[in-house]
Chains A and B, each alone.
Chain A
Amino acid sequence: MVGHSPPPFFKRGPAPLAKLVFFLVLSLALLVSDLKLRYLDAFRQGLSVLAYPLQMAAATPADFVRNASDYFASLVRLQIENKELKSKQLKEGERLLRLEQLEQENRHLRTLLEARERQPVKSTVAEIMYTAKDPFSRKVILDKGAQAGIEAGQAVVDDAGVVGQITRVFPMQSELTLLTDKDQAIPVMVVRSGLRAVLFGSGDGLMELRYLAANADVQPGDKIVTSGLDGVFLAGLPVATVARVERDQAQTFARIPCLPAAGVERFTHVLVLGHRESLPARPPEVEPVVGKLKGRKARSAKE
């Protein structure tokens, strides 16, 4: 009987358990390379071309609901909104007039100082289409994408302050990660004291000023604006207001939850800001002592 195998009546390919282990390992590898190493953006782009038609078709019911609610919005509400907008425009108009004159003056002064010209920031208006379905993150989808010149990393603001940052760009849409997304970070400054810090999303619709000493000069109600140190966000955009300050002597850092300034979780139009003027080049690094670093290490140090 040696050498006889059972007849292939019930051929199923490899054993189910082997298949299971293979695919589980494959998905785990995908997960790690996507979440930790971020290698898979090109792969995702490729597959998203396949999924795109279906995605577009699936978005139509949402579009329909949105448009229908717009259509049936009551006349009274529109009238109130119109009145508010008019008065707001009047207020802003006066400031805009002055701004133009100030910009002119600024340009003159800059030429006098021979400073680099501040490039005008090109911005794009986009509409929030819907909230991304992934329940683990706070992301929304905008209706403008690579075709409108949007790139990953651009800052997004609305009329009240910073909303978030573009994280992925598709041909016709882009994905905006809100500031309240867990661990989404933004370098900020406390207006009153000039204290610099980093603001993190804490995940529950709030944000948190982390790594500030327990005796840091922060009070409830303090306004927080971007510091512009990251080279992504323009300096001085409103970000949040300090909600409360919890100082615990046992802890090294204070716990400071903040309320977002912009309508971060509301559906409105937003402004995608262009890239800031390029920052000055990094100062050259001091050449390492020759002889100590060899091979790959030396090369990477030069880069």
Chain B
Amino acid sequence: MQPTNRSRRILLPVKMWFVYTTLFVALFLNYIPTGHLPAVPDFVALVLAFWCVREPLKIGIGAGFLFGLLTDIGVGAALGQHAFAYVLVAYAANELSRRVLWFTPVEQALHVLPLLFLSQVVMVIVRLMAGAEFPGWWMFFGTFVAAVLWIPLHYVLLLPQYQPMERDDNRPI
């Protein structure tokens, strides 16, 4: 039997303003001062990975760099720390997109988990080389929470594309 790209329903084309709005919402969530609370996911990395997987032709490394810089400013991290990690995430997600989209959301989450984990590891390495203290293993818990969030995100972020532009009761989709 021919394998089918199960996750690719026929969707409306994505609207770029919606992509950037969701990225800014994620930035807002990242800015919420949760202090050193464990298990807070990196929302920008997650949403960025999502759009880079869905729309590799429209969004990629440049957006990763920009939103990385904005995250650095907002959370008081070293300038370029998140930018470095997000550029890697965006590149890897773009490259993986052809493969990942063949899987169900749960399997997709398993693909994204190492990606997000890698971004955290990169940040730890960069900061430890600059002489910061190691914050503890708790900071990696957020990655797993983010991977779980991928599944609801898959439905929420694609919602606008499920809806037909003009309602036609005689048309099947």
Residues of A contacting B94 in the complex (Cβ-Cβ under 8 angstroms): 16
The interface on chain B, measured as residues whose beta carbon lies within 8 A of the other chain's beta carbons, has a size of 44
Q: Is the interface of B mostly helix, strand, loop or mixed?
A: helix
Report if A23-B61 is in contact (Cβ < 8 Å); known contacts: A43-B79, A48-B73, A204-B133.
yes
Task: Verify B132–A129 contact, CB threshold 8 A.
Answer: no
Is A7 interfacial (CB-CB < 8 Å)?
A: no
Interface membership of chain A positions 1-43, coded 1 if the CB is closer than 8 angstroms to chain B and 0 otherwise: 0000000001010001001100110111111011110001001
Bound-state CA distance A59–B19 (Å) is 24
Interface membership of chain B positions 31-73, coded 1 if the CB is closer than 8 angstroms to chain A and 0 otherwise: 1111110000000000000000000010011101100111001
Is B18 interfacial (CB-CB < 8 Å)?
A: no
**Which chain A residue has the least Cβ–Cβ distance from B128?**
A136
**Which chain B residue has the least Cβ–Cβ distance from A267?**
B35
Task: Verify B31–A23 contact, CB threshold 8 A.
Answer: no
Task: Verify A51–B76 contact, CB threshold 8 A.
Answer: no
Is A133 interfacial (CB-CB < 8 Å)?
A: yes
Task: Verify B31–A54 contact, CB threshold 8 A.
Answer: yes
Is B135 interfacial (CB-CB < 8 Å)?
A: yes
Is B173 interfacial (CB-CB < 8 Å)?
A: no
Is B100 interfacial (CB-CB < 8 Å)?
A: no
Task: Verify B76–A24 contact, CB threshold 8 A.
Answer: no
Is A223 interfacial (CB-CB < 8 Å)?
A: no
Task: Verify A35–B130 contact, CB threshold 8 A.
Answer: yes
Residues of A contacting B135 in the complex (Cβ-Cβ under 8 angstroms): 135-136
How far does the Cβ of B84 sit from chain A's closest Cβ, in whole Å? Answer: 4
Q: Name the contact of A26 in the complex, choosing from B65, B75, B78, B132 (C-beta under 8 A).
A: B65
Is A130 interfacial (CB-CB < 8 Å)?
A: yes
Task: Verify B33–A203 contact, CB threshold 8 A.
Answer: no
How far does the Cβ of B63 sit from chain A's closest Cβ, in whole Å? Answer: 11
Residues of A contacting B33 in the complex (Cβ-Cβ under 8 angstroms): 58-59, 62, 129-133, 141
Bound-state CA distance A55–B27 (Å) is 9
Bound-state CA distance A242–B148 (Å) is 46
Interface membership of chain B positions 107-138, coded 1 if the CB is closer than 8 angstroms to chain A and 0 otherwise: 00000000000000000001100111101000
Task: Verify A51–B74 contact, CB threshold 8 A.
Answer: yes
Is A230 interfacial (CB-CB < 8 Å)?
A: no
Task: Verify A35–B78 contact, CB threshold 8 A.
Answer: yes
Bound-state CA distance A69–B62 (Å) is 42
Is B155 interfacial (CB-CB < 8 Å)?
A: no
Is B102 interfacial (CB-CB < 8 Å)?
A: no
**What are 13 A-to-B residue pairs whose CB atoms are below 8 Å?**
A12-B57, A16-B61, A28-B80, A29-B80, A31-B130, A34-B78, A34-B79, A36-B130, A57-B31, A62-B33, A132-B33, A133-B77, A141-B76
Closest 9 pairs between A and B when the two form their complex, measured CB to CB: A30-B80, A203-B133, A58-B31, A131-B35, A130-B33, A135-B135, A136-B132, A27-B84, A31-B80
